[in-house]
């Protein structure tokens, strides 16, 4: 395997409706795509970094810079045995997991293409479809949130995640739970609270939630352990699990009982598989989180979620949840049983719509030897 050149493509994708978390509200997203040329074929990959450093310190701009000046010069034109060789070559560069992951994803897809296998099969996936949940952003009024949730339930989603933040938390959850008493429901705080807010989580503990995701700051692993010891609702860690090592730390400290696996956050599919394995060894289930990916990144997430320890519904929804027009053909759709099919074709398993990419492209740069 030898990468000959790579196009770095910045696209701007309008959302079908604004999406609000505890720290930002967006109506359109900038995305960094990689178009990778190799003898095995031409493949796309997607970087999960945002335009601004809300979720992570990485951004579209920093990821493009690191790829251009550090990662791509390391591997362009060199014979690679596959993703493992790339991980070994780039491990000496500190940080920038999302930039690293984007390029590693491309190598996984190329390897799958070369072997004539679906990406899921190459990763060790076992499922033909994965359970799909939906993430609902903060709404102006509780009544609006109830209405939005109702529409998604009619579509067939198995689980609903609602975003919360100080001032929009317990009363919102109470309204939703009163309307939908048996709904598989979870909340996500994106690190908006502190351990001193434990009274809130003790109150949420009485609302029959599947889990509470990332209630405290990413660095507060010890405080998460203290909080988990006080409540019966499982805590799920997202931003805190920066690598397989932090998955082990969380397990040994009892900081959570569930892990949200985002391959971009931990540095790629190889590391994501390790997190999956660490969690499984510690009797912790996992699910695949989303970064509002286009169909390119969504195909990677679906393949990852086909691994056996992804036992909770994933934040992998149909393409029309976020985009009027996705960048892949066919777009991802929700089955009647609330699942998303795992692509069965070789490589990524879906075709990138070049015309759709061109329509939303802001900038394009070719990197070669």
69-125: per-residue pLDDT in tens? 999 999 999 999 899 999 999 999 999 999 999 999 999 999 999 999 999 999 999
Residues 133, 220 share a domain: yes
C-beta neighbour count of 147 within 10 angstroms: 12
Structure confidence by residue, pLDDT tens digits, 307-329: 999 999 999 999 998 999 999 99
**Residue 272 included in any domain:** yes
pTM tops 0.85: yes
Within-domain flag for 141: yes
Q: What is the pLDDT of residue 22?
A: 67
Please determine, for residue 33, whether its predicted confidence score (pLDDT) is greater than 70: yes
Looking up residue 316, the CATH number of its domain turns out to be 3.20.20.120
**Mean pLDDT, rounded, for 249-276:** 98
178 in a domain, yes or no?
Answer: yes
Provide the domain limits for residue 70: 5-116+351-368
Average pLDDT of the chain is: 95
In the chain, the number of structural domains is: 2
Q: Residue 69 to residues 72, 90, 252, 292: CA-CA distances in angstroms? A: 7, 13, 38, 27
- The reply to whether 46 and 142 lie within a common domain is no
- Give the mean pLDDT of 274-282: 98
Residues 294 and 360 in one domain: no
* Inter-residue contact 190 to 20 (CB < 8 Å): no
Same domain, 65 and 128: no
- 185 and 285 assigned to the same domain: yes
167 and 94 in a common domain: no
In a domain, 76, yes or no: yes
**Can you give the CATH number for the domain in which 68 is found?**
3.30.390.10
362 is a domain residue: yes
Same-domain check for residues 134 and 89? no
For residues 119 and 110, give the distance between their C-alpha atoms in angstroms, rounded to a whole number.
Answer: 9
125-165, pLDDT tens digit by residue? 999 999 999 999 888 888 999 999 999 999 999 899 999 99
> Is omega for the bond preceding 330 within 30 degrees of 0, making it cis?
yes
At residue 166, the 3 state secondary structure works out as: coil
pLDDT > 80? residue 24: no
Pairing mode of beta strands 159-163, 185-188: parallel
- Considering only CA atoms, which of 34, 37, 31 is closest in space to residue 10? 31
Catalytic residues: 163, 262
Percent of the chain whose predicted confidence (pLDDT) is above 90: 91
The upper half-sphere exposure of residue 228, i.e. CA atoms within 13 Å in the direction of its Cβ, equals 24
Task: For residue 346, tell me if it sits in a domain.
Answer: no
């Amino acid at each position: 395997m030898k990468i000959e050149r790579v196009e770095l493509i910045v696209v701007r994708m309008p959302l079908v409706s604004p999406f609000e978390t505890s720290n930002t509200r967006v109506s359109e997203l900038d995305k960094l795509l990689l178009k990778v040329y190799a003898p095995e074929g031409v493949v796309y990959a997607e970087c999960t970094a945002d335009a601004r450093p809300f979720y992570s310190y990485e951004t579209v701009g920093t990821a493009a810079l690191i790829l251009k000046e550090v990662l791509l010069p390391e591997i362009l034109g060199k014979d690679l045995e596959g993703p493992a060789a790339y991980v070994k070559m780039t491990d000496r560069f500190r940080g920038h997991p999302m930039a690293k992951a984007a390029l590693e994803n491309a190598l996984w897809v190329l390897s799958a293409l070369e072997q004539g296998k679906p990406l899921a099969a190459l990763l060790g996936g076992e499922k033909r479809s994965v359970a799909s949940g939906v993430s609902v952003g903060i709404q102006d009024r509780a009544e609006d949130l109830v209405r939005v949730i109702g529409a998604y339930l009619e579509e067939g989603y198995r689980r609903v995640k609602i975003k919360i933040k100080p001032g929009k938390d317990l009363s919102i959850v109470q309204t939703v739970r009163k309307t939908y008493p048996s709904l598989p429901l979870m909340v996500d705080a994106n690190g908006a609270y502190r351990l001193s807010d434990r009274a809130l989580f003790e109150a949420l503990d009485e609302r029959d939630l599947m889990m509470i995701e990332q209630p405290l700051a990413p660095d507060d692993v010890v405080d998460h352990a203290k909080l988990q010891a006080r409540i019966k609702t499982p805590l799920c860690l997202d931003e805190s699990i920066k690598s397989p090592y932090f998955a082990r730390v969380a397990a040994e400290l009892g900081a959570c009982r569930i892990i949200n696996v985002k391959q971009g956050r931990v540095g790629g599919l190889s590391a994501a598989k390790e997190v999956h394995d660490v969690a499984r060894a510690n009797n912790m289930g996992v699910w695949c989180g989303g970064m509002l990916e286009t169909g390119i990144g969504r195909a990677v997430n679906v393949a990852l979620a086909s691994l056996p320890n992804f036992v909770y519904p994933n934040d992998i929804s149909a393409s029309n949840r976020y985009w009027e027009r996705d960048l892949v053909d066919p777009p991802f759709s929700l089955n009647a049983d609330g699942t998303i099919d795992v692509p069965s074709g070789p490589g990524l398993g879906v075709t990138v719509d070049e015309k759709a990419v061109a329509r939303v492209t802001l900038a394009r740069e070719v990197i070669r030897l």
